[in-house]
Structure 1
Amino acid sequence: MSRNKLVPAILLILLGTLQYRLWFGKHSIPDLWAMQEKIDQQVQQNANLEQRNDLLKADINDLKIGLEAIEERARNELGLIKQGETFYRILPAEQ
């Protein structure tokens, strides 16, 4: 084989090898796409958890700062009433 045909053949083989590694080898483009999908899912999960943490921090601050928040929680969740108050329960009319 002459030198004029050998160089393009070697370059073509190298190109084929690099393309194979790019599409099918370790750390290939499909691997990159799969990893990007995992990253997107993790970012979304982190955002949801951060939002939940912010709500919990706000609840904690309300409970630390104000007795009104504690009183409101006690009334709503435990059904407590203050001394001297009268509790009324209004039931919906039966149809």
Structure 2
Amino acid sequence: MRLLAIVLALLIIVLQWPLWVGKGSWLRAWQLDQQLSEQQSKNEKLKARNDALAAEVRDLKAGTDAIEERARNELGMIRRDEVFMQVLERRASTPASGVTAATVPN
């Protein structure tokens, strides 16, 4: 009788082995679920990026405001009747007269 119980216990273990450790196991299903959730989050980020790019393309095709803004910011273009003024800040490290401390006699 004891031998029969051991044989049946081993049979149950052998039958459940693929369920817990095999190719279609719970562990593998859990890993695939984790990979699926990671991929879905990546897809959401990429979809948001694609939506932003699609909106920019629509703006460029539909109106001139986006084109004008890009031309001003990226290419430095101005309109025909505008005056461009560039203000340069003086650096604190160089003297205003152009004479350095090494050339001034003591």
TM normalised by structure 1 equals 0.79
Choose between structure 1 and 2 for higher RCO, CA contacts under 8 A separated by at least 6 residues: 1
| C-alpha separation in 2, matches of 1:58 and 1:81 | 25
More helix by share: 1
Paired AA for residue 70 in structure 1: I
Name 1:76's counterpart in structure 2: 73
The reply on whether 1:23 has 2:20 as its aligned counterpart is: yes
How well do the aligned residues superpose, as a CA RMSD in angstroms? 2.1
Paired AA for residue 50 in structure 1: K
2:11 to 6, 10, 14: 14
Name 2:52's counterpart in structure 1: 55
SS of the equivalent of 2:84 reads coil
Over the matched positions of the two proteins, sequence identity in percent amounts to 43
2:91 to 65, 69, 94: 94
Q: CA deviation at 1:19?
A: 2.9
In the comparison of the two structures, how many residue pairs are matched? 92
Contiguous gaps of at least 5 residues in structure 1: none
Q: CA deviation at 1:11?
A: 4.0
